[in-house]
Amino acid sequence: MMELEGKSAIVTGGSMGIGSAICVGLAREGANVALNFRKHDAEAKAVVKEVENLGRKGLAIKADVASFKDAENMVRAVVKEWGSLHILVCNAGINWDGVIWKMTEEQWDTVITTNLKGYFNYNRAVAPVFKDQKYGKIVNISSINGLRGKFAQVNYSASKGGEIAMTKALAKEMGKFNVNCNVVAPGMVMTDMAAKLPPDVVERAVNETVLGRIASSEDIANVVVFLCTDRSRHITGEVIKVDGGQYI
């Protein structure tokens, strides 16, 4: 039996990379999946098609994660369309790197607004729904760089560390309503974005791991899906690194 049969999910940043793998992984376990997109409408429609090919309902909604109103409207639209919502996976994020003595205010504000406020917007939007129904699964995708910091990424590292702290606080607030809130913190993942990096950057990341490889998007999705099932019902406030030992 599929473990997410009858469940509905929202995945932010679901049109590409890790997000699209999460959407497909959730659908394979029986969930209906809604994803947001801002620019990649063709890719979003392709993911919806994959979800539908698995016999599930898919929905792509144009929404900017940085907009509080867009997040509220998307959650409202999904509940209206499917009559319920049980899962939120926040994955949408950006990076705009630079050493701090060269980093502009725009670089800082853009990354913090998208990555940290964007997660708050959706966590805030689903909280009343999950609280009232006394059930929900929230998984926020962070990064090992939110735990250890990364050269030329003070904005990105701060946003990812903020996501972790926010999720732990959220777990304390939502626990009595039977809502699990967890973080998945990947190391480097071989997405289209990573494939465009200079080979020496990827090689350094591989050398940091103990398994000698870079994660696939599916490696991350597998852990996220587990955290969305009731097999993880006694796990909350945790940060699970999926990095091949890159952090250690």
According to the model, what pLDDT value does residue 51 have?
98
How remote is the C-alpha of 161 from its chain's centroid? Answer: 14
Q: Which of 69, 14, 59, 66 is nearest to 37 (CA)?
A: 14
According to the model, what pLDDT value does residue 196 have?
82
Chain segment 106-160, per-residue pLDDT in tens: 999 999 999 999 999 999 999 999 999 999 999 999 999 999 999 999 999 999 9
According to the model, what pLDDT value does residue 228 have?
98
Instruction: Residue 17: give its domain's CATH number.
Output: 3.40.50.720
Flag whether 32 is in a domain. Answer: yes
Q: Which of 77, 86, 90, 93 is nearest to 29 (CA)?
A: 86
Chain segment 62-84, per-residue pLDDT in tens: 999 999 999 999 999 999 999 99
Flag whether 247 is in a domain. Answer: no
Whether the CB-CB separation of 35 and 15 falls below 8 Å is answered with: yes
Flag whether 1 is in a domain. Answer: no
Flag whether 3 is in a domain. Answer: no
Q: Which of 239, 221, 234 is nearest to 29 (CA)?
A: 221
Number of domains within the chain: 1
| Cα–Cα distance, 15 to 48 (Å, whole number) | 9
Mean of per-residue pLDDT scores for the chain: 97
Residue 247 catalytic? no
Flag whether 13 is in a domain. Answer: yes
Chain segment 170-213, per-residue pLDDT in tens: 999 999 999 999 999 999 999 887 888 889 989 999 999 999 99
Report if pTM > 0.85.
Answer: yes
Flag whether 217 is in a domain. Answer: yes
Flag whether 174 is in a domain. Answer: yes
Average pLDDT over residues 46-58: 98
Task: Give residue 197's domain range.
Answer: 8-242
- Could you say which of 119, 135, 156, 247 is catalytic? 156
Flag whether 164 is in a domain. Answer: yes
